[in-house]
Chains A and B, each alone.
Chain A
């Protein structure tokens, strides 16, 4: 028993623990998600985060120690954002032919998401630092962190808000679209990529190839536009500190 405790103390202190736990938990959650036919409530990111939160709490592992291993996965977000150039390139003909509707929808949807978040947050009396971290929440996490930093928000919080937003979109999007009536896979996917970034786009890719392509397209456009426009808008509104 003593040996086992020592072994556990050793293993949980190495980066191996965070990396292995993340990958194995995600694979299990993903297998379950597939088994229940991609039901929105079985979202693999949601369940992986919940299971790992439980594991860290029960084992008393502090988050920084977990992250020392999980950072190898986290690091791939950067190259993944660069990789979004690939779906943009594949759909370049479509992008050129429909540039006005697509850019228009990203601008309208993106500003509606960011604007309503800041407005509702302000009405509910949230402090300015939280509002600044909320503004980029529908942008994909790594970019959201960069924007929040520029706005004077808290990058780590912005990333958490971005992930929660992505989960909300991935889980409830289907029901919202059904309620709005007669929306094709292109509109659904594009909306998920715009307002629920990477996690929403991942959901779209799993459900329908057209929805997935449009989600990737929206993700690429939205990342460029919000990185350019959000700091500008915040400066105009006097939010940036």
Chain B
């Protein structure tokens, strides 16, 4: 039964993605196909029958989300000349901006949640 769920759920995700790709191209929307597909899925989840299959497929895919980045991450070996040329600049940019992004998100969320809690009191 649960193996059927994964398959049904995967079909549901693929249908959403295909519809998203089609809409993105046909209507020349600024959103990439998979992102539109995610929005379509949010609408589709109002249908109760779809929830268990989508949950099974989504959990299987997202549990090993990081594996999916390996093929494209390995693409770094095709850009070694560029990395050699701009290596230290890119390293500085990636490190510092990642830390700025992480710190800005964490601190602003803490601040906004506290302000929200204080306003509710």
- In contact, A159 and B72 (Cβ under 8 angstroms): yes
Distance (Å) between the CB of B88 and the closest chain A CB?
9
Given contacts A84-B62, A86-B41, A157-B82, 19 further A-B contacts (CB under 8 A): A53-B76, A66-B71, A66-B74, A74-B68, A83-B13, A105-B109, A108-B105, A116-B96, A116-B97, A117-B93, A143-B32, A165-B97, A169-B98, A176-B102, A176-B103, A180-B107, A196-B98, A216-B62, A220-B38
Q: List, in ascending order, chain B residues with CB within 8 A of A52's CB.
A: 70, 74
A180 to B99: give the CA distance in the assembly, Å: 11
- In contact, A106 and B71 (Cβ under 8 angstroms): no
Give 6 nearest A-B pairs by CB, closest first: A113-B101, A109-B105, A195-B101, A101-B112, A85-B41, A112-B104
Partner of B35, one of A49, A143, A161: A143
- In contact, B72 and A80 (Cβ under 8 angstroms): no
A98 to B24: give the CA distance in the assembly, Å: 29
Q: List, in ascending order, chain B residues with CB within 8 A of A190's CB.
A: 105-106, 109
A22 to B74: give the CA distance in the assembly, Å: 10
- In contact, B74 and A80 (Cβ under 8 angstroms): no
A7 to B43: give the CA distance in the assembly, Å: 51
- In contact, B55 and A187 (Cβ under 8 angstroms): no
A201 to B92: give the CA distance in the assembly, Å: 23
20 inter-chain pairs at a CB distance below 8 angstroms, sorted by A residue, are A44-B66, A45-B69, A77-B34, A78-B34, A79-B17, A82-B37, A84-B58, A86-B58, A86-B62, A104-B108, A109-B106, A116-B96, A134-B97, A161-B94, A163-B69, A190-B105, A194-B105, A196-B101, A198-B68, A205-B63
Partner of A173, one of B10, B41, B102: B102
Q: List, in ascending order, chain B residues with CB within 8 A of A48's CB.
A: 67, 70
Distance (Å) between the CB of A103 and the closest chain B CB?
9
**B27 at interface by CB-CB < 8 Å:** no
**B39 at interface by CB-CB < 8 Å:** yes
CB nearest neighbor in A for B19: A82
For chain A, the count of residues having a C-beta within 8 Å of the partner chain is 106
A residues contacting B by CB (< 8 A) are 18, 22-23, 26, 44-45, 48-49, 52-53, 56-57, 63, 66-67, 70-71, 73-74, 76-89, 98, 100-102, 104-106, 108-110, 112-114, 116-117, 120-121, 124-126, 130, 134, 137-138, 141-143, 146-147, 150, 156-157, 159-161, 163-169, 172-173, 176-177, 180, 183-184, 186-188, 190-192, 194-196, 198-199, 201-203, 205, 216, 218, 220, 223-224, 227-228, 231-232
Partner of B69, one of A83, A101, A166: A166
- In contact, A187 and B109 (Cβ under 8 angstroms): yes
- In contact, A160 and B75 (Cβ under 8 angstroms): yes
- In contact, B31 and A45 (Cβ under 8 angstroms): no
CB nearest neighbor in B for A130: B86
